[in-house]
Chain A
């Protein structure tokens, strides 16, 4: 399967703490994306990092990409209860439009 692996599968933290999620993938990529899904609803795109980038920031989000290790991490700083959701990484298939999603991390932030 081309599906990426994410760890941890589940993460529980207190408000104000940082949350780090990791994603590993199997093939060469043009970019890697992170999405959030609240309670079985539609996905929301968070951030896209290109293969020639090593780090990217968006608000409280920080994404890193290590193409030599085929891995990425998503850091959410100063977490809030509203950050409670499932987070997925996704990569495009080679020379196609379709996205291949990772297994996901379920984040629970306690107030």
Chain B
């Protein structure tokens, strides 16, 4: 199994500022995923991050708003830029356990509140 940590666990930020969320995995993984979970909602995939290449963004998410870094096989960051109250969500990173499309391990999430 993979152990995933995220920093910060929660934050309260002012609108117009940016926050960078870190995701650390205890083993090397090829693909990392970033999800957003708005209050009371399900998870929506923001982007998929491969080491050494640009992240692949889902419809409705753009790099300028959610820049992602993937400098090595155990680490990734997601930045939420120019925040507004609508960005208040839980942000989660995950990795695959094995085969593509199989089970994923999730980090504990970052609870972001934008005032």
Q: Which residues of A contact B (CB under 8 A)?
A: 3, 30-31, 33, 35, 40-45, 48, 88, 92-93, 96-104
Q: How far is the CA of A36 from the CA of B94 in the complex (A)?
A: 14
Residues of A within 8 A of B94 (CB): 43
- The answer on a CB contact under 8 Å between B103 and A48 is yes
**Which B53-104 residues have C-beta < 8 A from chain A?**
58, 90, 92, 94, 96-97, 100-104
Q: Could you tell me the dominant secondary structure of chain B's interface residues?
A: strand
Given contacts A3-B42, A41-B109, A101-B43, contact A92 B100 (CB under 8 A): yes
B104 and A99 contact, CB distance less than 8 A: yes
Known: A98-B33, A99-B45, A101-B43. A42 touches B107 (CB 8 A): yes
Query: Quick check: A97 and B42 within 8 Å, CB to CB?
Result: no
Rounded to whole Å, the gap between the CB of B60 and the closest CB of chain A is 11
Q: Is the CB of B109 within 8 A of A40?
A: yes
| Closest chain B residue, CB of each to CB of A98 | B45
Q: B92, A42: Cβ atoms under 8 Å? A: yes
CA distance A43 to B4 in the complex (A): 11
Contact call A102/B106, Cβ cutoff below 8 A = no
Query: What is the minimal beta-carbon distance from A68 to any residue of chain B, in angstroms?
Result: 21
